[in-house]
A and B are shown apart, each in its own frame.
Chain A
Amino acid sequence: MWDAPGIVGLPDDREEPRVIEFDAVHKEYPDGTVAVERFSLIVPSHRVVALVGSSGSGKTTLLRMVNRMVDPSSGTVSIDGVDVRSMDRVKLRRSIGYVLQAGGLLPHRSVADNVATVPVLEGRSRRQARADALGLLERVGLDTALADRYPAQLSGGQQQRVGVARALAADPNILLMDEPFGAVDPIVRDQLQAEMRALQADIGKTIVFVTHDIGEAFALGDEVVVLRTGAEIAQQGAPAEILANPADDFVASFVGAGTAQRTLRIRQVDGRDVVVDGDGRPTGVLER
């Protein structure tokens, strides 16, 4: 089932390349916390790389180094070979879609205005930007009737979807997504993951997707990078490779947290085939 990664491969000549490269990046915060230690990674054009690791492993810090919300203490982050430090911060940030961990919406702007943030900053007319925003809301599965509400009037999951719509609004080539589906229930989450795969098949962005849910990383990543504390790479590869051959106990336990759900068996109940997971909990009924 994991043999075919969820995201449809795209011809690479579709657009100009957008390769993100981390080269020996190190980040020590002023208070002495070392969040990232000599991290190197290439995120290929039009692919989804999922960074997965437990809380505090440095995932958010890595994302923020791409749009220069955080500057590395040493090492470089580059986009298509150009060091981001040589780029204008404001322009760089407008050219990258960023979905913040907690939504990060502006509380004093309506949903539509939040989505239209970057296009309006870039000089698009409010009217046009609003029309586009309504389309984007539909695209992320939100009712356009929510357009005139304020973020505080939405549920956490709805806010996160608005955050995704906002990140897509300027049609950036690069998307940084920090646990974008963290605040939604499993059913909606599955649905959003499916929608995101469809969307990515359509738009083919270069995406760095951060999650602490290995299942989500497998579901969305063309490539999965498992991180230890300090953003040390424990293993990196296609979902199937990691699932089949965890590099060490750490990865195995990380994957294992998800494998109880993934190792499925069939049990007969009342003459029907009930599918149970590794813990013996029923997950569904087999249709023959």
Chain B
Amino acid sequence: MNWLSQNLHIVGQLLADHLFLSIPPILLSLLISVPLGRLAAGSPRLRTPLLTGTGLLYAIPSLPLFIIIPALFGFSLRSPATMITALTLYGCALLVRGAADAFSSVPQDVRLAAAATGHSRWGLFWTVELPLAGPVLLSSLRVVTVSTVSLVTVGAVIGISSLGTLFTDGFQRNIDASIVTGIVLTVVVAFALDALCVLAARWAMPWQRAVSRA
């Protein structure tokens, strides 16, 4: 406790760094995966290459990825951009499949009914398919959210600061309080962002609750 109160400022800064590294990849992978997942769900021909391709991303070990990405995109090795790009790729690896499943879960008869009442393709996507894909999409998004928050800590090994820095520092300098604080805060951030996803979904999908209550 004593250690924490003395280092509150540093811990706060690392927490902010952690959020800055976690939130963009979560949003970016959602943004990329939704259209790819919709494509995969809509076309049997594209489905396999898209899902296998993005699924394989997850097989790339993270440390080499931290070296390949800067080389490929011209970021500096320790820049947040490297971290954000790597985590976006991992996020997509999970979320493209999740989104494909989500869009496949939209009942075909609802899609047909919406088309029959004069929704254009674009209107159908935004106002019918996306909301109805929401529940399944949400469950993948929650996995990605939690895993991204925990993967951010890996960056500490190559010197990208986050709550993970509290473990690496703590181990090197033998400060248990630092290690514990790092672990607890990482879990708290993961839970908090997960809860945020659930709340946002509840707001965006009011029919879900109304119907399950009935």
A121 within 8 A of B: yes
How long is the Cα–Cα vector from A216 to B123 in the complex, in angstroms? 36
Distance (Å) between the CB of B210 and the closest chain A CB? 5
Asked whether, in the complex, the Cβ of A107 is within 8 Å of the Cβ of B116, the reply is: no
Stretch of A97-105, A225-233, A241-249 that contacts chain B:
A97-105
How long is the Cα–Cα vector from A64 to B117 in the complex, in angstroms? 12
Stretch of B75-83, B107-115, B151-159 that contacts chain A:
B107-115
B201 within 8 A of A: no
Asked whether, in the complex, the Cβ of A106 is within 8 Å of the Cβ of B128, the reply is: yes
* Contact residues in B for A69 (Cβ distance below 8 Å): 112, 115-116
B64 within 8 A of A: no
Task: Report the interface size for chain A: residues with CB under 8 A from the other chain.
Answer: 25
- Beyond A102-B109, A106-B128, A107-B132, whether A67 also contacts B207 by CB under 8 A is no
- Beyond A69-B116, A93-B117, A117-B117, whether A106 also contacts B110 by CB under 8 A is yes
Contact mask A141-167 → B, CB, 8 Å, 1/0? 000000001101100000000000010
B205 within 8 A of A: yes
Asked whether, in the complex, the Cβ of B114 is within 8 Å of the Cβ of A121, the reply is: no
* Contact residues in B for A98 (Cβ distance below 8 Å): 116-117
Distance (Å) between the CB of B212 and the closest chain A CB? 9
How long is the Cα–Cα vector from A150 to B123 in the complex, in angstroms? 20
Asked whether, in the complex, the Cβ of B214 is within 8 Å of the Cβ of A106, the reply is: no
Closest partner residue, chain A, to B128 (CB atom): A106
B6 within 8 A of A: no
Asked whether, in the complex, the Cβ of A153 is within 8 Å of the Cβ of B211, the reply is: yes
Contact mask B105-140 → A, CB, 8 Å, 1/0? 000011011111111100100001001100000000
Task: Report the interface size for chain B: residues with CB under 8 A from the other chain.
Answer: 20
Asked whether, in the complex, the Cβ of B118 is within 8 Å of the Cβ of A93, the reply is: yes
Distance (Å) between the CB of A143 and the closest chain B CB? 16
Closest partner residue, chain B, to A67 (CB atom): B116
Asked whether, in the complex, the Cβ of B128 is within 8 Å of the Cβ of A104, the reply is: no
- Beyond A104-B109, A104-B113, A106-B113, whether A150 also contacts B131 by CB under 8 A is no
A210 within 8 A of B: no
A118 within 8 A of B: yes
Closest partner residue, chain A, to B134 (CB atom): A108
Asked whether, in the complex, the Cβ of A121 is within 8 Å of the Cβ of B210, the reply is: no
Distance (Å) between the CB of B63 and the closest chain A CB? 44
Asked whether, in the complex, the Cβ of B205 is within 8 Å of the Cβ of A108, the reply is: yes
- Beyond A107-B132, A107-B207, A150-B207, whether A90 also contacts B110 by CB under 8 A is no
A124 within 8 A of B: no
Distance (Å) between the CB of B95 and the closest chain A CB? 21
Asked whether, in the complex, the Cβ of B207 is within 8 Å of the Cβ of A93, the reply is: no
- Beyond A108-B132, A152-B211, A153-B210, whether A118 also contacts B117 by CB under 8 A is yes
How long is the Cα–Cα vector from A118 to B114 in the complex, in angstroms? 10
- Beyond A109-B207, A150-B207, whether A121 also contacts B119 by CB under 8 A is yes
Distance (Å) between the CB of B151 and the closest chain A CB? 33
Closest partner residue, chain B, to A95 (CB atom): B118
Closest partner residue, chain B, to A166 (CB atom): B117
* Contact residues in B for A109 (Cβ distance below 8 Å): 207
Partner of A104, one of B116, B132, B210: B116
Asked whether, in the complex, the Cβ of A150 is within 8 Å of the Cβ of B211, the reply is: yes
Distance (Å) between the CB of B119 and the closest chain A CB? 7
Interface residues of B in 172-214 (CB under 8 A from A): 205, 207, 210-211, 214
* Contact residues in A for B117 (Cβ distance below 8 Å): 93-94, 98, 104, 117-118, 121, 166
Asked whether, in the complex, the Cβ of B214 is within 8 Å of the Cβ of A93, the reply is: no
Distance (Å) between the CB of A124 and the closest chain B CB? 13
Distance (Å) between the CB of B147 and the closest chain A CB? 28
- Beyond A102-B109, A108-B205, whether A93 also contacts B116 by CB under 8 A is yes
Asked whether, in the complex, the Cβ of B118 is within 8 Å of the Cβ of A100, the reply is: no
Known: A100-B116, A107-B211, A153-B214. 15 other contacts (CB 8 A): A64-B116, A91-B118, A93-B115, A93-B116, A93-B118, A94-B117, A104-B113, A105-B113, A106-B110, A109-B207, A117-B118, A121-B118, A149-B210, A150-B210, A152-B211
Q: Which residues of A contact B (CB under 8 A)?
A: 64, 67, 69, 90-91, 93-94, 98, 100, 102, 104-110, 117-118, 121, 149-150, 152-153, 166
Q: List 24 A-B contacts (CB under 8 A).
A: A64-B116, A67-B116, A90-B120, A91-B118, A93-B118, A104-B113, A106-B110, A106-B113, A106-B128, A107-B110, A107-B211, A108-B132, A108-B207, A110-B207, A118-B117, A118-B118, A121-B119, A149-B210, A150-B207, A150-B211, A152-B207, A152-B211, A152-B214, A153-B211
